[in-house]
Amino acid sequence: MELLKVENLSKVYGTGEARVEALKQVSFSMQRGEFGAVVGASGSGKSTLLHCIGGLDEANAGKVFLNGKDLFAMGEEERTVFRRQHIGFIFQSFHLIPELDVEQNIIFPLLLDYKKPDQERVEEMLKVLGLADRRKHLPGQLSGGQQQRVAIGRALITRPALVLADEPTGNLDSQSSRDVMDLLCRASRYYQQTVLMITHNMNLTASADRVFQVTDGTLRELGGAAE
């Protein structure tokens, strides 16, 4: 079942001599539960692509459909609520709230929508993340890998249809990177969530169902990770 559809997405920054075409008519689609990886050099447009798909940045042309709904046809407030309920974001920087403990950081997106956390789901998430014994720790008391796991839990707790991960292992050591990749794979396989991850590390694409490359704002599919 098609979950994400991107049609002729284009994004331009600046004017005149400073004009940069960050994205050039990018089109692709992803099915529910697929794990896709996007690779490309720094400045190739891959982060811009992720931000436009997530509605964090508005494209100059083209459309993004999530579950058949046109993201850019929504008003800003409607898009903000839709994004919060249907898209999970994981960034290289953890963006945790330092005054909140692990469990509070994870359930924070639910509280923004005035939803009561399902304690069974919270317990499951803490167990999957390997953070059950750290639930009352503050971010400053955690390692970088543990903080990233909290950020992943926060992105997954609402069971979003789409998870967008921008260099989620960029600040982590090799073991923590493998742990993060395992968690993202589990989200895709176990919860049937569609995951689209940006990485500069080709080694991390081994877990992906499909691999895309962005070069100077254009996207092409390299095929499955095993190909």
Q: How confident is the model at residue 227 (pLDDT cuts 50, 70, 90)?
A: very low
Domains along the chain? Answer: 2-223 (3.40.50.300)
| Direct distance between the N- and C-terminal alpha carbons of the chain, in angstroms, rounded to an integer | 23
Please state, in angstroms and rounded to a whole number, the distance separating the CA atoms of residues 2 and 67: 8
Per cent of the chain over pLDDT 90 is 56
**116: which residues sit within 8 A by CB, 6+ positions away?**
110
Which is higher by pLDDT, 168 or 97?
97
pTM listed for this prediction: 0.89
Rounded Cα distance, 111 and 105, in Å: 10
pLDDT digits (tens, 9 = 90+) for 44-74: 899 999 999 999 998 999 999 999 999 999 9
Region 127-142: what's the mean pLDDT? 92
